[in-house]
Amino acid sequence: MNRIEHIALLAGYNQWMNRKVYDAAGTLTDAELGVDRHAFFGSILGTLNHLVLGDTVWLKRFAGHPAGFPALNPLRAIDTPTDLKQLAFADIRELSARRAWLDELIIEWAQSLHESDLDHRLHYHNMRGAPANKPFFSLLVHFFNHQTHHRGQATTLLTQAGVDVGDTDLLALID
């Protein structure tokens, strides 16, 4: 499997897992989703919001790649989040719709990548405004790892709330 195929696999895994997590979260009431469970982002809803906000920040940074990535153009109309702990979507249905939209965008964008795009260094500013210049492929790996990390937190919180998300292993998608 080459790097492009691996990124496509991770994009598919991201979408598959998000569907599972949101289906599981959908079995809880709004009140249960908002309970402070003493996680880093407080609640299940807070954790899922963080993932959407973080993905938005990274995808907007990726849109600054010299390749342009037309698949990321819809993000240009969205403000860049300034606080990754904010509850941007207090309603799980709105959050779920944004998640599904982002996941489709990520799939389309991943399918548009070329091997030569991965070798570029991306110039961007971090959340504190400091400039950064990092290998693009490594940033993509971080992007997908960040999703997996916080989805793991969300699945733990869902399990503690009595909801089983089911199989979460990437292995399920590897032929």
Express each pLDDT in 130-170 by its tens digit.
999 999 999 999 999 999 999 999 999 999 999 999 999 99
Taking the CB of residue 45, how many other CB atoms lie within 10 A of it?
Answer: 24
Confidence of residue 175 (pLDDT cuts 50, 70, 90): confident
CATH number for position 169:
1.20.120.450
Q: What is the band of 72 on the pLDDT scale with cuts at 50, 70, 90?
A: very high
pLDDT of 29-50, one tens digit each? 999 999 999 999 999 999 999 9
> How many domains would you assign to the chain?
1
Structure tokens at 116: 């030569």
Domain range for residue 76?
Answer: 3-173
